Amino acid sequence: MDTTTHTTTANADALASAPLDTLQTDLSARTGRGINAMIAGVILWTLFGIAGAVVADEFILALVYVFGAGLLFPLSLLVAKALRLDTYAKGNPLGPLAGILGGLQILFIPLMLGAVFLTPRSVPWFLAVLVGAHLLPYAWLYRSRAYLVASIGIPVASGLVGWLLPDLVRFAAPAAVVVLLAVTAFLLHRENRAG
C-alpha cells in the first residue's frame, strides 16, 4: 500500500468515529461549504434571465427552465474543480448526506412538469422557490448562516415577484435569485476564510 492510500484510509477511519461537529467542520473545509453550487447557480440563473429576454413563448421558456436546471450539478462540479474543492468529501460520513440533500430536488420533477403544462408563466418563480427552500438543511450541515439568507430570501423574493409582478416574472425572478445567490456566495467566501 502506498503512502497516499494509507493516509487516506487513516483519515477515513479517524472520521468514521469523529464527533458530529468535527465531521461538519471537515465537510465545510473540504467542500468550501458548497460555494461552488452557489457560483454555478449564479451562472445558471443569469442564463435563465437571458433566456427570458430572448425566448418569447412561455411554454418553451418553461421547458428551458426545467431542463436547464439539470445543468446545475455538472456546472457546480466544474466550478469545484476550478476552486480545487473536494466535492464528495470522501471518507466523511456526512459527504453522502450533502449529495442526498442536493439530489432531493429530483422529487419535485413531477411538480415542475405539472407547472410547465398548467401554468408555464409561473415556472420561473416556482423553480426559484424550490431551489431556495431546498437550501435550508445546508445551514445546519455546514453550520452556515449564509444558507439562511438563501433558503429564506430566495423563496420570499421569488414568491413576491410571482405574485406582485407576474408580467415581469421571466426577468425579475432570475434577477432576484442571481442577487441572493451572489450574496450567499460572498457570505460563504467570508465563512470559508474565517474557518
CB-facing half-sphere around the CA of 162: CA atoms within 13 A: 18
For residues 180-186, average pLDDT: 98
Check pLDDT > 60 for residue 1.
Answer: no
Residue appearing with cell numbers 467566501:
189
Check pLDDT > 90 for residue 186.
Answer: yes
Check pLDDT > 80 for residue 55.
Answer: yes
d(CA 55, CA 25): 44
Name, in order, each residue with C-beta under 8 angstroms of 13's C-beta and a sequence gap of 6 or more: none
For residues 10-34, average pLDDT: 86
Share of the chain above pLDDT 70, in %: 93
The pTM (predicted TM-score) of the whole model is 0.90
pLDDT attached to residue 17:
76
Check pLDDT > 80 for residue 100.
Answer: yes
Is the model more confident about 7 or about 178?
A: 178
